Amino acid sequence: MKIAVIQTGGKQYLVQEGKAIKVEKLAGADGNLQLSSVLLVADGDQVEIGAPNLTGSKVELTKVKDGRAKKVIVEKYKPKVRYHKRQGHRQAFTQIKIDKIIL
């Protein structure tokens, strides 16, 4: 079982072959992709750590869908000055499926 730590959208994700995860939106990407910012790869007892990235390692993935997360309500309130502001935000995401981790 291969696992890897990848970086995309300013965040790091622990991924495994065959699993699907949601990441920050990948703009203009369709179908099969390769991600080369791999920080760590582990295959059983063998572990390789990059500084900061591993050279030659890639993660092949398939874009499943784009979407938007549930709405988060942001409310600002200041007492005694009659100020309140209510705002909603929906973060865009891309759901990807990890096909293959290449050492």
Backbone phi and psi for residue 73, each to the nearest 5 degrees, phi listed first:
-90, 125
What's the domain range around 96? 2-102
Measured distance between the N- and C-terminal CA atoms of the chain, rounded to whole angstroms: 13
Q: Evaluate if residue 70 carries a pLDDT over 90.
A: yes
In 3D, which of 78, 4, 69 has the Cα closest to residue 37? 4
Peptide bond into 52 cis (omega under 30): yes
Peptide bond into 79 cis (omega under 30): no
The pLDDT assigned to 77 comes to 97
Domain count within the chain? 1
H or E element, residue 94 = strand 92-102
Percent with pLDDT over 90 in the chain = 71
The pLDDT assigned to 44 comes to 87
Chain-centre distance of CA 84, in angstroms? 34
Mean pLDDT score across all residues of the chain: 93
Q: Which residue has the tokens 């995309």?
A: 8
- How far apart CA 68 and CA 46 sit, in angstroms, is 37
Q: pTM for the whole thing? A: 0.83
Q: How confident is the model at residue 6 (pLDDT cuts 50, 70, 90)?
A: very high
